[in-house]
């Protein structure tokens, strides 16, 4: 059976990376997916992210997140930024996501198409229809099977992210930008209730992890995967 693409989304500092890692460890250890794949084997858990899930993507990520912080004087124009995220995604889908899904993997992906709608659409104000078309081109139509939206106020998320040290190029944008991004995620969740599940990310790491375990166990049962 083809694999599943599970995406973690949310504003900066919402806890995606933390929860994705915990989720990966839990799935590896839990035995939930033991009955998957060929007899006697288990499905591969693949953790990846956008931007930066491929070699090309690592280069694009560096340009996108570091530009302007250190020595690069030239700002990245909004449409150029949009196309760089799309290029990262097109490479990611072709090189990693589709081949791994063909092999039956469970992919945990830190950000995907909804980030482009939220950041470049709602945040930067670029045309939503254009972004939808571009997402379609970049993905060849590959949608997530489930998107976990870690919902937290932009201000709290930014505070968490900035406590770690220097802010990257996107984190340096003003609060109003990040609040528009947050509204974008809320709008997407309202538009796609089947695909996007909201999780209250203002709670402790353990509580958020427990909520994710519950949602995934139920989805795996619905998909006929695992014995959880
Ligand atoms: N982008 C991306 C676009 O603009 N368009 C696109 O199409 C795509 C794909 C990616 C940037 O690119 C933008 C969005 C981003 O700006 P990134 O480094 O991947 O850059 O940025 P983020 O995904 O935002 O990564 P962050 O690390 O900032 O946020 P996370 O992953 O949500 O948060 P995490 O887990 O690293 O946690 C942040 C801090 O909070 C603590 C953690 O310990 C950590 O210190 N924390 C908690 N504290 C209290 N309670 C909890 N429940 C906590 N959970 C985590």
For the chain, the structural domain boundaries read 4-223
Whether residue 227 is predicted with pLDDT greater than 70 in this model: the reply is no
Global pTM value: 0.95
* Ligand 1 mutation target, pool 14, 17, 21, most atoms within 8 A of CB: 17
Which amino acid residue places its CA nearest to atom 23 of ligand 1?
12
pLDDT for res 226: 62
Condensed to tens digits (0 to 9), the pLDDT of residues 135-169 reads 999 999 999 999 999 999 999 999 999 888 778 88
DSSP 12: T
Which amino acid residue places its CA nearest to atom 55 of ligand 1?
15
Q: What residues pair up with 43 in beta bridges, in sequence order?
A: none
Q: Phi, psi at residue 104, to the nearest 5°? A: 95, 15
Count CA within 13 A, CB hemisphere, residue 80: 8
Work out the pLDDT band at 90, boundaries 50, 70, 90: very high
Whether residue 124 is predicted with pLDDT greater than 70 in this model: the reply is yes
122 lines ligand 1 (CB under 6 A): no
pLDDT for res 171: 87
Tell me which CATH code domain 4-223 carries: 3.40.50.300
């Amino acid at each position: 059976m083809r694999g599943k693409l599970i995406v973690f989304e949310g504003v900066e500092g919402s806890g995606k990376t933390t929860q994705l890692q915990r989720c990966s460890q839990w799935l590896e250890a839990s035995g939930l997916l033991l009955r998957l794949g060929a007899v006697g084997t288990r499905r591969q858990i693949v953790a990846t992210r956008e931007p930066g899930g491929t070699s090309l993507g690592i280069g694009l990520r560096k340009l996108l997140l570091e530009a302007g912080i250190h020595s690069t004087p030239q700002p990245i124009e909004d449409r150029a930024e949009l196309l760089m995220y799309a290029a990262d995604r097109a490479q990611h889908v072709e090189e990693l996501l589709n081949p791994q899904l063909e092999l039956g993997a469970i992919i945990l992906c830190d950000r995907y198409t909804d980030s482009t709608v939220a950041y470049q659409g709602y945040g930067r104000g670029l045309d939503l229809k254009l972004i939808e078309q571009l997402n379609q081109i970049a993905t060849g139509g590959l949608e997530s099977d489930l998107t976990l939206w870690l919902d937290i106020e932009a201000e709290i998320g930014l505070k968490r992210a900035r406590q770690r040290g220097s802010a990257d190029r996107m984190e340096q944008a003003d609060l109003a930008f990040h609040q528009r991004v947050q509204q974008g995620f809320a709008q997407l969740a309202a538009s796609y209730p089947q695909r996007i599940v909201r999780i209250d990310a203002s709670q402790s790491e353990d509580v958020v992890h427990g909520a994710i375990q519950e949602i995934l166990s139920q989805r795996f049962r619905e998909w006929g995967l695992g014995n959880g």
